[in-house]
A and B are shown apart, each in its own frame.
Chain A
């Protein structure tokens, strides 16, 4: 192995609500998770110093591992001896509200969208997209910029050598707004220009003096190509330099780490991308946090990431309620509950974001909200993860009857191979069945889809480890990230089998014949409205899947599919609730169905005891 062999790695993730620490050790079986610790994030008063939460989480690791890691307020690294210190310490962060950006492009659906993709790819929250053709008058754009006060602006527009005036017009709007950053009075707002190279001099003349301008390669040099890497890297550098340094305690944290702190979505995204590439499959990953929900997908080899600001489980939990509506949250609750009382409870979670559900009723409510946060975030993701717009496509005469615009979504649920969940509400769900149900209900997978969950919410830390650039430790850290991810992090929940097609109540949707290692041959007949769970291990199971009339399980309407399916901690879930899936609008029927499915999947203990309809 080139570089240094790392024996112990300590990694933390400072979430908006919770700070998580993990300790990884090199054992005879390779790298393994030794232990973990967790503590409330301390960007809030009375501490207002993120390192307090970090130290507290590490203290838990110390207590549980028996290793001495801290010397007062200092992390001992590198290791002094086998019982003292760690080799490497790294961290990710989404605390402090994350990176909030505005992006601008000449044509909203083309360079504007490419700029948005670059910003989201770097793990930022995109507050607004300005474009020459966005329908707003210049003074409205100026007012918007002044009002939002972003941390940073990414300006793009035009292909290399193309027209100059449109992108300069946008720069003039920015200059006229004379934007001030959100944090600090004494520095200029960072602006990155990644547009038409012919306009660079004009942009320099327009923005050079009033902003902290960086000029980099065009993100759309020609229509057919996106060149997002340089913009992502520059955003990341500026984030570290300007934004993160302003958040309480970060300067100190940055001085502790052996590699640059990564924004959490950046770290998780790189891990999802790695899985998709390694297994050559289509993957959707989700990280549901306290303030945001980040969705990552790889379809047709193309990686996309969206950060849904204000769709989270603590700071922004009321926004989920507002966007989803109370009715939509309540449709997942299998108990009777006073609506006024419910909204007050959700409001109290918003203002005291670090609390956890103590009663079963509270847990059920929280998981109902999570379904809606996931559902809404995925809708946003699907509308964003599209093929490049503006690219001319060659069409044959046979396409004439089946034309779709360029820019159609890449997310095809029938093609999805693996859905991975991370974040407190999924990773810490007391029963793994709950995590699986939340994801199935929110994402509504079609055909055959494997599901997995981050066992203890450590994908961010593994992501930053996989991205260490220091040549001395890069290879060892990457190996550790991969080995821990496969062995300790990813819990294979099982497979959801959900036929699609029009059907009637009582009709058979699917007949499945398969051999299980322990119980032998099994036949499952799935009827409309049912969920059937068959315990099965995570191993290749030969199966013959015979869809009902007009139904499709992956090969086409009525086409039999012989394939391998995989179980997991939960097993095989045959979902006969139909696609598209809709819950009954009639309250008692809805509650009855929820209880039936809950019982079938062992999701909750008897919910009838908590308040019947």
Chain B
């Protein structure tokens, strides 16, 4: 049977979700295997090396670099307070001494006899990793971190900004086609994750920031409005480190696009539950898509958790979403995947799929389809 590999986004009502919680450098893991964790629990901790200052003692004292060791009062590994004397010349008959004092609280790391420089390092910067979602510690990677596992609703968005966030899920629009407007966002939504329909304007996002909303999930947002939020033009889709009170997850893309019905219905079904979201996006190798995770209580489980299977790509009967104009955002079913190349309006010769959308059958380039992976 003809099939084609096609990227797709997951919209799963029950899934085994694994989250790696890994330190940027080796450090200490604070939880044990099989332990239950809540989102705010710290699971691993380390210290990044502090910032560095370099000071050329040879130049400051007007001596040869090879003589620096002889004038140092402190040695590598010694701790220094700002203002401590760290080097001093012998002077002439004990007079006319020159000295160098520590410009910061630091540790003396190295002395170079070649350049006459000393390396001073600030105090280490602590880094802590929390659990992000409720779940169980499935694996401990010694000195590096843990893998947290949970049975959860798992939805992937297409693009997001802001890092990890969490809060109670609140559905603000009646349908997936409605815009989430500024007047819908109120003070009572502080710390919550809001779900809208087709669109969020810049004004509405600003209101969400002002109300300290934890996160917003909507179908679309204007690309050109990102500049005002980020302070720069987003050139490549690598986000997640923005310091934003309100993370934003787009399920469909840029512009006004109604949210996929399965996504909207699934979110609606879990209104009021505690939800973890992550706006981080990286559309490169090792792709990262923004995500929405709603851990499920034992009584919510139906026992039909989605098990990742070998993806065979789209084939006749597959549910797909069109991801480029002129049918952007529409969802349909694959009727057939004809083998010969097809000439499009643009005169481009491409491999196509015939898609049934509502009652019409349309010919769409296979490359412009996205599989909707549901359970």
Q: Are the C-beta atoms of B114 and A43 separated by less than 8 Å?
A: no
B246 to chain A, nearest CB (A): 20
Q: Are the C-beta atoms of B114 and A202 separated by less than 8 Å?
A: yes
Q: Are the C-beta atoms of A343 and B368 separated by less than 8 Å?
A: no
- The answer to whether the Cβ of B347 comes within 8 Å of any Cβ in the partner chain is yes
Closest Cβ neighbor of B368 among chain A residues: A355
Residues on A with C-beta less than 8 A from B373 are 46
C-alpha spacing A164/B159, complex, angstroms = 49
Closest Cβ neighbor of B348 among chain A residues: A430
Closest Cβ neighbor of B159 among chain A residues: A351
Which chain A residues in 123-173 approach chain B with CB under 8 Å? 138-139, 142-143, 164-165, 168-169, 172-173
Residues on A with C-beta less than 8 A from B51 are 139, 142-143
C-alpha spacing A52/B311, complex, angstroms = 10
Q: Known contacts A139-B53, A343-B223; decide if A40 and B5 are in contact (CB<8 Å).
A: yes
Q: Are the C-beta atoms of B324 and A358 separated by less than 8 Å?
A: yes
Q: Are the C-beta atoms of A356 and B365 separated by less than 8 Å?
A: yes
C-alpha spacing A354/B369, complex, angstroms = 10
Q: Which of A56, A95, A178, A322 contacts B5 (CB 8 A)?
A: A56
Closest Cβ neighbor of A139 among chain B residues: B53
Q: Are the C-beta atoms of A142 and B5 separated by less than 8 Å?
A: no
C-alpha spacing A599/B221, complex, angstroms = 37
C-alpha spacing A350/B365, complex, angstroms = 18
With an 8 Å Cβ cutoff, the count of chain A residues facing the other chain is 72
Residues on A with C-beta less than 8 A from B22 are 185
Which chain B residues in 320-375 approach chain A with CB under 8 Å? 323-326, 328, 339, 344-350, 364-365, 367-368, 370, 373
C-alpha spacing A431/B283, complex, angstroms = 30
Q: Are the C-beta atoms of B283 and A350 separated by less than 8 Å?
A: yes
Residues on B with C-beta less than 8 A from A353 are 283
Residue among A139, A173, A350 with max Cβ neighbours from chain B (10 Å): A350
Nearest 4 A/B pairs, CB to CB: A319-B235, A347-B223, A430-B347, A96-B285
Q: Are the C-beta atoms of A172 and B115 separated by less than 8 Å?
A: yes
Q: Are the C-beta atoms of A358 and B236 separated by less than 8 Å?
A: no
Not counting A323-B235, A343-B224, A358-B368, a sample of 17 additional A-B residue pairs whose C-beta atoms are within 8 angstroms of each other reads A56-B313, A97-B284, A142-B51, A142-B54, A165-B115, A172-B119, A176-B121, A185-B25, A185-B26, A318-B233, A343-B223, A348-B223, A354-B7, A356-B344, A358-B326, A358-B344, A358-B346
Contact with B along A322-353 (1 / 0, CB 8 A): 11000000000000000011011111111111
A90 to chain B, nearest CB (A): 21
Q: Are the C-beta atoms of B26 and A352 separated by less than 8 Å?
A: no
Closest Cβ neighbor of B367 among chain A residues: A356
- The answer to whether the Cβ of B203 comes within 8 Å of any Cβ in the partner chain is no
C-alpha spacing A47/B4, complex, angstroms = 13
B314 to chain A, nearest CB (A): 12
Cβ contacts A to B, 22 pairs, < 8 Å: A42-B5, A44-B283, A45-B7, A46-B311, A164-B114, A165-B65, A168-B114, A172-B54, A248-B285, A343-B224, A348-B253, A348-B324, A350-B283, A352-B370, A354-B367, A356-B367, A357-B346, A358-B325, A358-B344, A359-B344, A362-B324, A428-B348
Closest Cβ neighbor of A166 among chain B residues: B115
A337 to chain B, nearest CB (A): 11
- The answer to whether the Cβ of B286 comes within 8 Å of any Cβ in the partner chain is yes
Q: Are the C-beta atoms of A53 and B368 separated by less than 8 Å?
A: no
A442 to chain B, nearest CB (A): 19
Q: Are the C-beta atoms of B109 and A355 separated by less than 8 Å?
A: no
Closest Cβ neighbor of B250 among chain A residues: A351
C-alpha spacing A169/B110, complex, angstroms = 12
Residues on B with C-beta less than 8 A from A340 are 222, 224
Residues on A with C-beta less than 8 A from B324 are 348-349, 352, 355-358, 362
Q: Are the C-beta atoms of A346 and B223 separated by less than 8 Å?
A: yes
Which chain A residues in 26-65 approach chain B with CB under 8 Å? 39-40, 42-48, 52-53, 56, 63
Q: Are the C-beta atoms of A358 and B254 separated by less than 8 Å?
A: no
- The answer to whether the Cβ of A253 comes within 8 Å of any Cβ in the partner chain is no
Residue among A46, A177, A318, A360 with max Cβ neighbours from chain B (10 Å): A46
B104 to chain A, nearest CB (A): 10
C-alpha spacing A322/B232, complex, angstroms = 9
Q: Are the C-beta atoms of A318 and B236 separated by less than 8 Å?
A: yes
B40 to chain A, nearest CB (A): 25
Residues on B with C-beta less than 8 A from A44 are 7, 283, 285, 287
Residues on A with C-beta less than 8 A from B347 are 360, 363, 430-431
Q: Which of B10, B222, B367 contacts A355 (CB 8 A)?
A: B367
Closest Cβ neighbor of B286 among chain A residues: A248
Q: Which of B52, B326, B350, B367 contacts A40 (CB 8 A)?
A: B367
Which chain B residues in 277-322 approach chain A with CB under 8 Å? 281, 283-287, 289, 311, 313
- The answer to whether the Cβ of B158 comes within 8 Å of any Cβ in the partner chain is yes
- The answer to whether the Cβ of A114 comes within 8 Å of any Cβ in the partner chain is no
B208 to chain A, nearest CB (A): 20
- The answer to whether the Cβ of A293 comes within 8 Å of any Cβ in the partner chain is no
- The answer to whether the Cβ of B191 comes within 8 Å of any Cβ in the partner chain is no
Residues on A with C-beta less than 8 A from B284 are 16, 43, 96-97, 291, 315
- The answer to whether the Cβ of B8 comes within 8 Å of any Cβ in the partner chain is yes
Q: Known contacts A340-B224, A348-B253; decide if A172 and B117 are in contact (CB<8 Å).
A: yes
Which chain A residues in 284-333 approach chain B with CB under 8 Å? 291, 310, 315-316, 318-319, 321-323
Residue among B52, B253, B311, B347 with max Cβ neighbours from chain A (10 Å): B52
- The answer to whether the Cβ of A247 comes within 8 Å of any Cβ in the partner chain is yes
Residues on A with C-beta less than 8 A from B49 are 178
C-alpha spacing A291/B326, complex, angstroms = 24
- The answer to whether the Cβ of B175 comes within 8 Å of any Cβ in the partner chain is no
Q: Are the C-beta atoms of A168 and B345 separated by less than 8 Å?
A: no
B348 to chain A, nearest CB (A): 5
A476 to chain B, nearest CB (A): 31
Residues on A with C-beta less than 8 A from B144 are 185
Q: Are the C-beta atoms of B325 and A345 separated by less than 8 Å?
A: yes
B339 to chain A, nearest CB (A): 7
C-alpha spacing A351/B7, complex, angstroms = 12
B82 to chain A, nearest CB (A): 16
Q: Known contacts A142-B51, A348-B323; decide if A172 and B110 are in contact (CB<8 Å).
A: yes
- The answer to whether the Cβ of B30 comes within 8 Å of any Cβ in the partner chain is no
Closest Cβ neighbor of A42 among chain B residues: B5
Closest Cβ neighbor of B58 among chain A residues: A165
Closest Cβ neighbor of A57 among chain B residues: B5
Q: Are the C-beta atoms of B368 and A168 separated by less than 8 Å?
A: no
Closest Cβ neighbor of B313 among chain A residues: A56
- The answer to whether the Cβ of A213 comes within 8 Å of any Cβ in the partner chain is no
Residue among A139, A185, A248, A351 with max Cβ neighbours from chain B (10 Å): A351
Q: Are the C-beta atoms of A315 and B364 separated by less than 8 Å?
A: no
Residues on B with C-beta less than 8 A from A356 are 324, 344, 348, 350, 365, 367-368
- The answer to whether the Cβ of A175 comes within 8 Å of any Cβ in the partner chain is yes
